[in-house]
Amino acid sequence: MIVAERKSIPDLVDILKDHQKILVLGCGTCVTVCLAGGEREVSIISSALRIASNIKGLGFEIEELTIERQCDNVFIEEAADAINRNDAVLSLGCGAGVQALAERYAKKPVYPGLNTSFIGILEDRGIWAEKCAACGACVLHQYGGICPVTRCAKQMLNGPCGGSREDRCEVRPDRPCAWQLIYHRLKDIGQLGRLTQIAPPKNWEPGHGGGCRVIVREDHRI
């Protein structure tokens, strides 16, 4: 899922200070699961903004709404009335949700309420970790399902850097060394032989370095 964190209340106040009627719009998918932008977070952030407005005399009038998915026009339609009766929208969706709203409502200011962080999973209660860099050319099959592009700080593709201490990454000691994990995983599934194969330089072109990426499926365009 896409993992995000809310912006600070002072940042949000600064973003919204020129508006009065504000719709705080949540998204019911990824950001709900990562506890950043679902129905509950919409209420919490709205309440904090009302408190800030009362203290600073900003006169915010805040409406709350959460739709199933902000990155899809079909679901965005459900928010049409609420969007139209407010001066601005504070989206608690990911960056894709914010932009989908802005494209759909060309004359309505739409602002991000979250910082979209990464594609990851819930590791433990209250802990989310990045697992995929969306590099566009997945190599997980070579590394026992553990991504060295995302989880190795140095993106090493042909073995560990040698700097790890015990099983910890030298760049982020709070994280395990990805290559330690890869070794144990390949051993567990009987594929240690993969470590003798030299990985050629990775093709980074499908990644973000080539600009905004678009996927076209002609079979769905009729």
Q: Which residues bind other proteins (CB under 8 A)?
A: 8-10, 40, 43-44, 47-52, 54-56
Residue written as token pair 């408190």: 51
Residue among 30 and 41 whose Cβ is closer to other proteins: 41
Q: What DSSP line would sit under 13-46, residue for residue? A: HHHHTT-SEEEEEEESSHHHHTTSSSHHHHHHHH
Count the Cβ atoms, other than its own, within 10 Å of residue 146. Answer: 20
* C-alpha closest to that of 185 among 142, 214, 121: 142
Least distance in angstroms from the C-beta of 114 to other proteins: 15
Compute the least distance from the CB of residue 125 to other proteins, in Å.
11
Residue closer to other proteins, measured from CB, 28 or 206: 28
Give start and end residues of each alpha helix (H) in the chain: 9-16, 30-33, 39-56, 73-76, 80-84, 95-104, 148-151, 178-188
Closest to other proteins by CB, 55 or 198: 55
Q: Of 56 and 208, which has the nearer Cβ to other proteins?
A: 56
Query: Of 64 and 87, which CB lies nearer to other proteins in the complex structure?
Result: 64
Q: Rounded to an integer, what distance in angstroms lies between the CA atom of residue 150 and that of residue 156? A: 10
CB of 54 to other proteins, least distance (A): 8
- Report in angstroms how near the CB of residue 22 gets to other proteins at its nearest: 15
CB 17, min distance to other proteins, A = 13
